[in-house]
Structure 1
């Protein structure tokens, strides 16, 4: 994701070579002449004949673990550093409670994968309850709900364990739950329980585990792989954080591209995202140091991604490792062993439950094969030194997959012909990523107009960037979101060939900013979920889709007003974006229609939904006319969707 600026100059040069006659750009994208606040009225007459088919999967999402978007984000587990994974984790997020010493103990592994545990050493004369705390990802979200808690324990102890959720500064106890355990010396035992909590007014909270120190005086106990889950989306046991997942679901995305993004590649070959290290019980997943320089637990693993797709009705778009990491590239004979890895992964996903890897899937809770129709080969193989070898690597992997699964659509991770085979196989899609300043993204409105219709594409990552604060949280504002809407109108007009498109990144924990802006931000405090203005644009466009893109006769050229019309059965949809300072009066004519709704998002050019303070939201009004002519007042920097029947 960090490599896109390199390509910007060449893209902008090429932009001038594309464009339909009906897609002429306005000479002034912003239309800020200061003389008049309202432009001359524009009439759009929607034709009910002709047009081109629209992809049913156009609007989806892309996910990779970054900005603590998975661990500490959409994955529901709330405790940080719970498996001591990654490079040099130390005691991050832990603190002693009472007169004890705590250590990372790498001599007492929980399993072959979880190679450290937390040792709690108790003073010889201890008489009180003691233990340790974990403050999660800058705090624990404490809500009025039932939590599920798991931990592994080793050491001679029979007696009570107290689990608490406590305000770190206030000391207020929101949950206090007792269980009785029997732990033994030399072996870890697993314990699981549930408890209710009241709500905290803030995110400054911690989880605590306490035990009777008098029973362990002068000795020690070990604890490993502690887990804490609030209610999860669709009540999945190792599931998604419900509030974040619900916001994603409410965009109604049609596909999920995973597991990256750069994070699939690996800082080194051995630290790539490896599917077989992300399946099965969590205590069998070793995790790794991610490309974004923090530990990944991989508790959000292959099956969890596929459950996510199924629960939200999305098509999975699986990325397979193509031989390129940031620490080295494998091709030719050196790549052959990894082709077997891809075969095994696909048998795990698609094979019958009596096959070698299909039986592993069944053992892990999924008897029936998963659905998988799309696979991307690598990620951004036109960057970071991958271009020269990608034609051969792509061909090796393509033949491996296509020979056994000829009905799966395969996607190249680049559209650059210099990085592709001289004669790519028929039916291959091409992935293209770009991030632009607002004016530059609008200038790409007609980028796909002249794409050969026999060469389908996926825009796997795009967005308008705001780099005003490179050291912290910088967020979408209305000019950016309007530029995305104008560009999305261009995508939708060409959705016979642009089959999938995903704004990226999706999620951001405000306390761990590495890349901004994103669609959805959050932290550990109540009601922290912040939906950006760009989120609402995505939601408005995704929720209102047609099957056919319809011709529109107009009295004006594109810019600063942009539009697209489509229909599904007897419902007609017109999407509008005003990328400029002037108000626009738009007359939309759709014969034989009488009523519907108008959804509008508008605000000042620099209007912004700040973290914890989202003030710009869409409004929805019912509209009724007598002769199929709808007059829409588009304020400056506004996006609208008209749906009538």
Structure 2
């Protein structure tokens, strides 16, 4: 790491020579035409893990978001939940009851007291996360109940304002003075909006002047891969369409905790949801932790993503632990790793098996902390990093460890070989484009992960705005720079991933949604990520040209089925790009363009990519680039499908790590 800080400062301030031969960086070319010839040999290896996603529960992206459970405040978790999302129905009084906890983890329940004049069916409603999505589908419903009752319970999905009933399901329940669990499924028709609620009704005549308690009410639509306690199918499918190759979790700031005691604790996010206490998150609302450690890993498995697990390293927003004070938490990391990686007859491995996963999870990457160059962590991170590194590496030498910063002054003076350095940055468009060549001169023995990046106009009120074509084009330019250096840039993730439009505290994200039908709205940046991720090469190829980078930027690559050229025109004038890819005849050209500040806003998708088939007997292709336009050309000698194999990933990892082992 010698001189890394100096290198980074110089790289940000000045243009550096391109990595791939035949290209150069210089002042922007004013010509309206650019000619590129792709050299089919030479170049450098490209990481198969380059394009992935980073997730933390913010903007209700987890609870109320990608996690399938639709009812809010169902466990009364967090510092002061009150009766958020609950409403009484009929002549009853509802209250949070601390005297009747559902479990050792769920410390209270909802008490429904039947008033003396009550008649008919009464109960309560939960309005979800700014409404309940009501779709034509089959729902799974679950709740815990306490109190003497034997009779029918009616579950409904109803328009909150209209009163229209979309689903009504009767079930027979026998309840006693101990909490018992009840489950059922029912079908629903679709609502035209998101202003809906879930209702539970019971016969007041069977509870004269009495009370019933309900806890941990849950409502699930179909889940991705039909996982129990799984991801919401439509939202998860939208993520899967990006074709991400890794998932970095559980954050982000939400790993750290506002206080040490409210950090993300792995052992409190496993097992039955009724045994998960939840916590107050770093993003102004409680986390249920129903989306827990195993759920993250099932998510990775179902989308064929490499897990990148972050572990707590002693830094919270309310305090920092180091030295002997940190050691119990280091021991806890080793317990977590035994849970993930240990045999099913080990202490924690047997707990994993009990929770439904007999075989060890394939965890190969672990990040030590999050952004330790910020919020006061820098001074102690060298010692904290070394303490945790030594513990993990001593027991699991084949795991690749990631430092949560690239700042030299925050790192050990002589870091261990093979460590990956994480760097996060959010920039305005011009500043992000200026970082195009940031990694050109990065020492190839010092791999990096860009764990968070994105274009963000922080001059907007509260930093909230929607991704524009200008921003997305600047990201494409930067991604071209990342891809050209993807022998050393192992992984990169746009962040944040998604938001519930009703609960935005940070924007933009790749996409968002709310409780209404067809609300999934991709930002323009979503399409750039999708275009680049779905078209990947295993080798970055040299490009022969007399043009200079800017305003047109490019990168060429190949895999075992196709040659791929990615282009971005970061300028206000149209450009024509002539691309020669020898020995190719056919392919697909995909383009994204629009006016400079064109956006996709909730329920209003104005900008989409378009694609067309291209053919050429000589391997010559002409691409007309609109201002602020992004394009991906994928061509072959015939019509073949683009795909990646596990063998390619393994071969790449062998090429990278074998020299370090010899």
Query: What TM bracket, shorter-length normalisation?
Result: over 0.9
Instruction: Give the C-alpha shift of residue 211 in structure 1.
Output: 0.1
Give the aligned partner of residue 633 of structure 1.
624
Alpha-carbon deviations, 1:124-179, whole Å to 9, x = none?
Answer: 23221000000000000000000000000000110000000000000000000000
1:539 is the counterpart of 2:530: yes
Q: 2:343 aligns with which of 352, 355, 358?
A: 352
Structure 2: state its 5+ residue gaps.
637-662
Give the aligned partner of residue 451 of structure 2.
460
Given that residues 574 and 627 in structure 2 are in contact (C-alpha distance below 8 angstroms), is that contact kept between their aligned partners in structure 1? Answer: yes
Q: Helix, strand or coil: the match of 1:482?
A: helix
Alpha-carbon deviations, 1:240-291, whole Å to 9, x = none?
Answer: 0111100100000000000000000000001000000000000000000001
- Return the alpha-carbon distance in structure 2 between the equivalents of residues 307 and 223 of structure 1: 29
- Correspondences of 1:143-222 after superposition (within 5 Å): 143-185=135-177, 187-222=178-213
Instruction: Give the C-alpha shift of residue 18 in structure 1.
Output: 5.3
- Return the alpha-carbon distance in structure 1 between the equivalents of residues 539 and 409 of structure 2: 34
- Return the alpha-carbon distance in structure 1 between the equivalents of residues 9 and 382 of structure 2: 25
- Return the alpha-carbon distance in structure 2 between the equivalents of residues 480 and 472 of structure 1: 14
Q: 1:16 aligns with which of 13, 18, 36?
A: 13
Q: 1:122 aligns with which of 101, 110, 114?
A: 114
Structure 1: state its 5+ residue gaps.
1-7, 32-38
Q: Helix, strand or coil: the match of 2:51?
A: coil
TM-score for the superposition, normalised by structure 1? 0.96
| CA-atom RMSD in angstroms | 1.5
- Correspondences of 1:195-594 after superposition (within 5 Å): 195-467=186-458, 469-471=460-462, 473-594=464-585
Instruction: Give the C-alpha shift of residue 13 in structure 1.
Output: 6.5
1:63 is the counterpart of 2:55: yes
Give the aligned partner of residue 4 of structure 1.
none
- Return the alpha-carbon distance in structure 1 between the equivalents of residues 138 and 460 of structure 2: 39
Given that residues 55 and 498 in structure 1 are in contact (C-alpha distance below 8 angstroms), is that contact kept between their aligned partners in structure 2? Answer: yes
Given that residues 263 and 290 in structure 1 are in contact (C-alpha distance below 8 angstroms), is that contact kept between their aligned partners in structure 2? Answer: yes
Given that residues 601 and 618 in structure 1 are in contact (C-alpha distance below 8 angstroms), is that contact kept between their aligned partners in structure 2? Answer: yes
Q: Helix, strand or coil: the match of 2:415?
A: coil
Distance 1:211 1:465, change over 3 A: same
- Return the alpha-carbon distance in structure 2 between the equivalents of residues 570 and 278 of structure 1: 42
Alpha-carbon deviations, 1:478-507, whole Å to 9, x = none?
Answer: 000000000000000000000000000001
Given that residues 564 and 574 in structure 1 are in contact (C-alpha distance below 8 angstroms), is that contact kept between their aligned partners in structure 2? Answer: yes
- Return the alpha-carbon distance in structure 2 between the equivalents of residues 542 and 416 of structure 1: 28
Given that residues 203 and 524 in structure 1 are in contact (C-alpha distance below 8 angstroms), is that contact kept between their aligned partners in structure 2? Answer: yes
Instruction: Give the C-alpha shift of residue 467 in structure 1.
Output: 3.6
- Return the alpha-carbon distance in structure 2 between the equivalents of residues 386 and 522 of structure 1: 35
Q: Helix, strand or coil: the match of 1:193?
A: strand
Instruction: Give the C-alpha shift of residue 228 in structure 1.
Output: 0.2
Given that residues 110 and 116 in structure 1 are in contact (C-alpha distance below 8 angstroms), is that contact kept between their aligned partners in structure 2? Answer: yes
Given that residues 18 and 449 in structure 1 are in contact (C-alpha distance below 8 angstroms), is that contact kept between their aligned partners in structure 2? Answer: no
Instruction: Give the C-alpha shift of residue 25 in structure 1.
Output: 4.8
Q: Helix, strand or coil: the match of 2:406?
A: coil
Instruction: Give the C-alpha shift of residue 468 in structure 1.
Output: 5.4
User: How many residues in Structure 1 have an aligned counterpart in Structure 2?
Assistant: 629
Distance 1:420 1:473, change over 3 A: closer
Report which stretch shifted further, 468-477 or 573-582.
Answer: 468-477
Given that residues 562 and 635 in structure 2 are in contact (C-alpha distance below 8 angstroms), is that contact kept between their aligned partners in structure 1? Answer: yes
Instruction: Give the C-alpha shift of residue 477 in structure 1.
Output: 0.4
- Return the alpha-carbon distance in structure 2 between the equivalents of residues 292 and 570 of structure 1: 44
Given that residues 469 and 597 in structure 2 are in contact (C-alpha distance below 8 angstroms), is that contact kept between their aligned partners in structure 1? Answer: yes
Given that residues 18 and 450 in structure 1 are in contact (C-alpha distance below 8 angstroms), is that contact kept between their aligned partners in structure 2? Answer: no
- Return the alpha-carbon distance in structure 2 between the equivalents of residues 142 and 74 of structure 1: 16
Given that residues 137 and 221 in structure 2 are in contact (C-alpha distance below 8 angstroms), is that contact kept between their aligned partners in structure 1? Answer: yes
Given that residues 18 and 448 in structure 1 are in contact (C-alpha distance below 8 angstroms), is that contact kept between their aligned partners in structure 2? Answer: no
- Return the alpha-carbon distance in structure 2 between the equivalents of residues 435 and 328 of structure 1: 26
Q: Helix, strand or coil: the match of 1:319?
A: strand
Given that residues 125 and 214 in structure 1 are in contact (C-alpha distance below 8 angstroms), is that contact kept between their aligned partners in structure 2? Answer: no
- Return the alpha-carbon distance in structure 2 between the equivalents of residues 61 and 224 of structure 1: 34
